[in-house]
Structure 1
Amino acid sequence: MVEQDLRSTPLEAVHESLGATFTDFAGWRMPVRYDSDLAEHRAVRESAGLFDLSHMGEIHLIGPEAPAALDHALAGKMSAMSVGRAKYSLLLTEDGGIIDDVITYRLAEDHFLVVANASNAEADAAALRERAEGFDVEVDDRSLATALVAVQGPASEQILLDTLFAADSGVEALTREDITEMKYYRFTTGTYRGGELLIARTGYTGEDGFELYVPTEHAAALWEQLTAAGGERLTPCGLACRDTLRLEAGMPLYGNELSRDLYPAQAGMGRVVALKSKEDFVGRSGVENADVSSRPVLVGMVAEGRRAARAGSTVRDAEGREVGEITSGALSPTLGYPIALAYVDPAAAEVGTELIIDVRGKDLPARVVELPFYSRS
């Protein structure tokens, strides 16, 4: 794909002015870094980072039967969620494979927002429309009209407060307590420059943080206000450090750890599928009938030294037998040693198991560990 065919976020000019290096991500021209991957990663762990996530999909379901439609469409029980809460769930194939992992927000009794990964946004919208047929609900894909920016890190709450409640911030219908008392996977709403504003205490970094949804026409102003309020506490961050942050936190990436060929139980997500709490839904029979006892399962692995395994690297046991494959790997900036996620045979998945990773033709001794690799104190 030539660069001019890539989609651009409403913040592209801002990224260019900051000297960002761009990459093609799921058909979008996205900033991969501004300066140093390591510096951006550390900024999020130690202070705060600012991310443009406007490539993500935002799909609204509105109508009296929206709860029932989502219970049918997704693996989780969305109808049991209270207004003001968010829930992680899966969109499954009929056979029980994973189309996407999504976060759903209940905006009102009859109004939900489903946030999809960029690579799957259009497919998710199409699947939700198809699965909503027969229900009294409207499916409205507002992805291209919605911008999403995230502030992540231990200083994120104070930076957000300094931004939202500064003089002439343009923010209305919010109080400081709406932010300070917000718990994880909760959200609040207000207005920003007359447009709708949704602020969620969610993220993909393993740190405390917030994700802010605004109309695309207000994205640049919001970014600039956050930057001004954050000052030296806030660093613009690209996709490269977002990947190492989520890997340290043991969070799966669609296309690496999740796919249509994998069942939730293989990825350690059996609990996400509401087999006991609701009736039939798309993918239920596939999940129930699948024999995953001999299928590879997702594990975390650590090694010593500075050589990091990459996706596609082979994993062998002590006898030299191939038992799996790396899906994500990096030299952890926070921990200082190599970490990786891998799918391995169940017999090799027990914590403490000693394995060998083929890193560019050289053996790297590694062992299976519990996830996450990193957890904030």
Structure 2
Amino acid sequence: MSEPLQRTPLYDLHVELGARLVPFAGWEMPVQYSGIIEEHLAVRRAAGLFDVSHMGEVRVRGRDAVVFLDRVMTNEMSTLKPGAARYTLMCQPDGGCVDDLIVYRFSENEFFICLNASNAAKDIQWLRDHVGTAKVEIIDECKLWAQLALQGPLAEKILSLVTTLPLASIKRFGFLVGEVAGASGCVVSRTGYTGSAGFEIYLPAASGIQVARALLTSGKAHGLIPVGLGARDSLRLEANYPLYGHEISERISPIQAGLGWTVKFNKEQFIGREALRRQAEGGPTSSVVLFSLNDRRIARQGATVYAGETPVGEVLSGTFSPTMNKPIGTALVAAGYVNSEQLTVDIRGTRLPLTISVTPFVK
């Protein structure tokens, strides 16, 4: 028998709000409330509130925390200042991705890491397996936190209604710790996964519904609505943000995924360095591309990409873009074809031309 689905601290609120709940990464999560397109456009035009409490959290602390994290992360941790966060990846020795994460530095020797829901247990074990002789503690805090994402151009205005934190002082990938809607000890960061402005809020699990309800009530007059995973996916694809298991995976490296900027070869050593260096210097055999379709049909994960009659790749993600009003997606394409204007994708026996985009659909 399969294990029962986990529920976030906001589950009862989702039911109250009439969410359509679906299985996702072992969790029972809201895929939509009023409708994916309406929710998507609310984030682009006003604001949306997401429950992302399924994400994992781990704390790493100790005198060797910086050295340890620099060894297991592709990005540089030693230059990360307290009060700031950084996007990074953990890689296997062959360069494949273990996960992508955001690392928050609380103090000189204390870090807080946000993990993908589907990888949380694996990531924590990976960290523990690579401690070696480092003097660090790896503390699983997945059960302690709820996490909300408040995203959209009016996010700061709405959040200011329920907190006295100086939000304007938080720079992109910066954070503050304080009280939100009566809940103390909240971590408020200017980060997100939508391509719109906004914040992500880590808060004690028991305060999840209290804070979410306060935000929805205060933000209603400004157009704030709850948003599910369906719109989260279309929003992140418009911004060309990767999703683990799609644009990055154990078989797709940061170099292939266009995330080479997260790989700091100036560091003397980190797991996967040599494999990634060879890819960066010689060029990867395949790369992830962003595309759109001038059709109503959506190219789904696994669909074959062709150059003429030659299969040259496969679709990684596909959805309908409310902003572009047409289907968009990503594909892993053989190196010689990433700039081709002659690519097509097979959708149920019909070949449709792809238009490759070198920039995200939203900025």
TM category (shorter chain) comes to: over 0.9
Q: Which residue matches 1:211?
A: 200
Q: Which residue matches 2:126?
A: 127
Q: Which residue matches 2:294?
A: 304
TM-score, normalised with respect to structure 2:
0.95
Q: Report the more deviating stretch, 154-163 or 262-271.
A: 262-271
% identical aligned pairs: 40
Q: Tell me if structure 2 keeps the 8 A contact 1:265–1:292.
A: no
Shift of 1:353: 2.0
TM-score, normalised with respect to structure 1:
0.92
Q: Structure 1: how far apart are the matches of 2:178 and 2:58?
A: 19
Q: Structure 1: how far apart are the matches of 2:278 and 2:361?
A: 32
Q: Tell me if structure 2 keeps the 8 A contact 1:53–1:149.
A: yes
Q: Structure 2: how far apart are the matches of 1:292 and 1:115?
A: 32
Q: Which residue matches 1:52?
A: 51
For this pair of structures, how many residues does the alignment match?
A: 360
Q: Structure 2: how far apart are the matches of 1:148 and 1:186?
A: 16
Shift of 1:270: 1.7
Of 282, 298, 308, 2:271 maps to: 282
Aligned: 1:315 with 2:314: no
Aligned: 1:182 with 2:181: no
CA RMSD of aligned residues (A): 1.5
Tell me which stretches of 4 or more aligned residues in structure 1 moved more than 4 Å.
289-292
Q: Structure 2: how far apart are the matches of 1:25 and 1:281?
A: 31
* Deviation readout 1:240-267 (Å, 9 max, x if unpaired): 0000000001111100111111222111
1:132–1:195: structure 2 CA closer, same or farther, 3 Å change rule? farther
Q: Structure 2: how far apart are the matches of 1:147 and 1:204?
A: 17
Q: Which residue matches 1:342?
A: 331
Shift of 1:132: 2.2
Residue 185 of structure 1 aligns to a residue whose secondary structure is coil
Q: Structure 1: how far apart are the matches of 2:330 and 2:42?
A: 24
Shift of 1:50: 0.3
1:362–1:281: structure 2 CA closer, same or farther, 3 Å change rule? same
**Unmatched segments (≥5 aa) in structure 1:** 166-173
Residue 100 of structure 1 aligns to a residue whose secondary structure is strand
**Unmatched segments (≥5 aa) in structure 2:** none
Show the 5 A alignment for 1:1-377. 5-165=4-164, 174=165, 178-192=166-180, 193=182, 195-232=184-221, 233-276=223-266, 278-290=267-279, 293=283, 295-317=285-307, 319-350=308-339, 353-375=341-363
Shift of 1:130: 1.9
Q: Report the more deviating stretch, 102-111 or 280-289.
A: 280-289
AA aligned opposite 2:343: L
AA aligned opposite 2:173: Y
